[in-house]
């Protein structure tokens, strides 16, 4: 199957930062086979499905590298608390009530929101009903990294059971759905998983060749408590136990760390998912993205769950990330406009270890989005890259493709029933709160 999208402004995000003001892309078997300036030759268009983009902007799909879509019914349930109280008093009690139907409703709602705002790939770290979700992701046509996360504040037997469950899921779904689904192992956090358990999980991940995802240094309180208990920062403990080397790490947050910690993560090719809005909403702090970049850490973007955000719009996340670093460092180029776009696209692919993803180039997976530029906040239209970072909104996205297949066309979702999903999400939350 061959598709041609013509008459588009193509923002390739390649090394040379090529932008075709009037260009086209050719997709065959889910992969880009040509990206060119001008109009496709008649010969190339023969037998192809030709789509006229009508001057829309075409760019790589956005990649959300940290989240918990299973919690999406909790959007806005508690707005003014720090992480520890927010979790213990509101989120964990509600989670006790979550059942298969509620989690399914939450996740379908999230997929609608992500596709509508231009996210093509996302990470889900959660403990409930992952097999159902993997099947739903496959059906919806999205790309995802999924993991059954574990909390180790329990007996050794229970820890082993949870790990076995995680491993079973990871093995069943890794590289499934035509390569669109990958898996990781995921100890929830150093404060919820004792060091021996993290070590056990990392060993299993090394054996299976799977990356590991974990919350890290999200709040100052968590680090204080950890220092009291173990006498060192969690990054130092990971290093002392030799858990950083030989492991493909993706950490979420990394807010409360010192220069030497960023240096250690960089030296071990770790990636960090930066979640600026969630960190701000919970009053957790601001991660030192500039320090991460200086030490060679791959910095990608995440939203965390909508309970601490409240949106899954990566355009907002990208803008917040860039502006925050400039403000706290009092330096306008500390994180450049291009670096902001990279965080939301190619760095996301690197962080999730998806090969051939995150740019519009020949041989890359054809995951891309189109935006309607005919709006006042995107004009004059000559500075598209600046507008994408500083002015664009998720609602500007009109078309979404993953592996060359359309998930949304002219704002119409093709694989999900939005009306039914919104209704169901409300009904399920009402049921939980009864």
- Number of H helices and E strands in the chain, helices first, is 17, 18
- Pick 304 or 339: Cβ nearer Zn ion: 304
- Pick 9 or 148: Cβ nearer Zn ion: 148
- Which residue is closest to Zn ion by CB? 304
The minimum distance between CB 63 and Zn ion, in angstroms, equals 16
- Pick 186 or 397: Cβ nearer Zn ion: 186
- Pick 304 or 317: Cβ nearer Zn ion: 304
Candidate residues 95, 104, 124, 304; the one interacting with Zn ion per rule CB under 5 A: 304
Structure tokens at 372: 């309607």
- Pick 65 or 325: Cβ nearer Zn ion: 65
- Based on the shown chain and the rule CB under 5 A, indicate whether residue 95 belongs to the binding site for Zn ion: no
Q: Which residues have C-beta within 8 Å of that of residue 79, sequence separation ≥ 6?
A: 281
* Distance from C-alpha of 213 to C-alpha of 217, rounded to nearest angstrom: 13
* H or E element that contains 281: helix 276-281
Q: What are phi and psi of 418, to 5 degrees?
A: -60, -45
Instruction: Give the interface segment with Zn ion, choosing from 93-101, 182-190, 234-242, 300-308 (CB under 5 A).
Output: 300-308
Site residue total, Zn ion (CB under 5 A): 1
Instruction: Give the interface segment with Zn ion, choosing from 166-174, 296-304, 328-336, 418-426 (CB under 5 A).
Output: 296-304
Instruction: Give the interface segment with Zn ion, choosing from 13-21, 183-191, 297-305, 328-336 (CB under 5 A).
Output: 297-305
Sheet hosting strand 249-253, strand order edge to edge: 212-216, 249-253, 271-274, 298-301
The minimum distance between CB 66 and Zn ion, in angstroms, equals 6
- Pick 271 or 408: Cβ nearer Zn ion: 271
For residues 156-175, one letter each, b for 16 or more C-beta atoms within 10 angstroms of the residue's C-beta and e for the rest, the string is: eeebeebbeebbebbeebbe
Instruction: Give the interface segment with Zn ion, choosing from 56-64, 106-114, 142-150, 303-311 (CB under 5 A).
Output: 303-311
> Checking phi first, is residue 363 left (phi over 0); if not, alpha (psi -120 to 50) or beta?
left
- Of 99, 106, 122, 97, the C-alpha closest to 71 is 106
> Checking phi first, is residue 382 left (phi over 0); if not, alpha (psi -120 to 50) or beta?
alpha
- Pick 51 or 91: Cβ nearer Zn ion: 91
- Where along the sequence are the contacts to Zn ion (CB under 5 A)? 304
């Amino acid at each position: 199957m061959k598709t041609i999208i013509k008459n588009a402004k193509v923002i390739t995000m390649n090394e040379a930062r090529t932008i075709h003001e009037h260009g086209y892309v050719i997709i065959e078997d889910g992969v880009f086979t040509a990206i060119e300036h001008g109009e496709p030759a008649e010969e190339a268009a023969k037998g192809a499905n030709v789509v006229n983009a009508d001057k829309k902007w075409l760019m790589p799909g956005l990649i959300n590298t940290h989240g918990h879509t299973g919690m999406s019914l909790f959007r806005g349930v508690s707005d003014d608390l720090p992480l520890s109280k927010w979790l213990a008093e509101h989120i964990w009690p509600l989670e006790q009530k979550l059942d298969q139907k509620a989690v399914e409703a939450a996740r379908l709602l999230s997929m609608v929101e992500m596709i509508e705002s231009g996210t093509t790939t996302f990470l889900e770290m959660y403990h409930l009903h992952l097999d159902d979700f993997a099947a739903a992701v496959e059906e919806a046509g999205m790309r995802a990294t999924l993991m059954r996360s574990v909390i180790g504040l329990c007996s050794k037997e229970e820890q082993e059971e949870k790990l076995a469950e995680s491993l079973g899921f990871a093995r069943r779904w890794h590289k499934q759905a035509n390569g669109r689904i990958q898996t990781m192992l995921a100890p929830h956090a150093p404060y919820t998983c004792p060091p021996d358990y993290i070590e056990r999980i990392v060993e299993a991940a090394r054996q299976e060749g799977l990356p590991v995802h974990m919350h890290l240094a999200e709040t100052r309180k968590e680090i204080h408590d950890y220092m009291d208990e173990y006498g060192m920062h969690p990054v130092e403990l990971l290093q002392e136990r030799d858990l950083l080397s030989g492991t493909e790490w993706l950490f979420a947050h990394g807010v409360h760390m010192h220069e030497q910690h960023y240096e250690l993560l960089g030296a071990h090719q770790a990636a960090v998912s930066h979640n600026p809005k969630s960190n701000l909403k919970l009053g957790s702090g601001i991660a030192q993205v500039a320090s991460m970049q200086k030490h060679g850490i791959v910095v990608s973007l995440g939203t965390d769950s909508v309970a601490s955000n409240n949106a899954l719009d990566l355009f907002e996340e990208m803008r917040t990330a860039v502006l925050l670093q400039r403000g706290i460092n009092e330096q306008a180029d500390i994180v450049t406009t291009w670096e902001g776009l990279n965080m939301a696209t190619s760095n996301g692919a690197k962080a999730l270890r998806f090969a051939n993803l995150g740019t519009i180039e020949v041989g890359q997976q054809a995951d891309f989005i189109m935006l309607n530029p005919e709006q006042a906040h995107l004009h004059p239209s000559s500075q598209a890259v600046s507008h994408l970072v500083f002015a664009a909104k998720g609602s500007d996205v009109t078309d979404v493709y993953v592996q060359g297949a359309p998930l949304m066309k002219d704002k119409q979702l093709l694989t999900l029933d939005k009306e039914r999903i919104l209704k169901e999400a409300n009904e399920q939350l009402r049921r939980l709160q009864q």
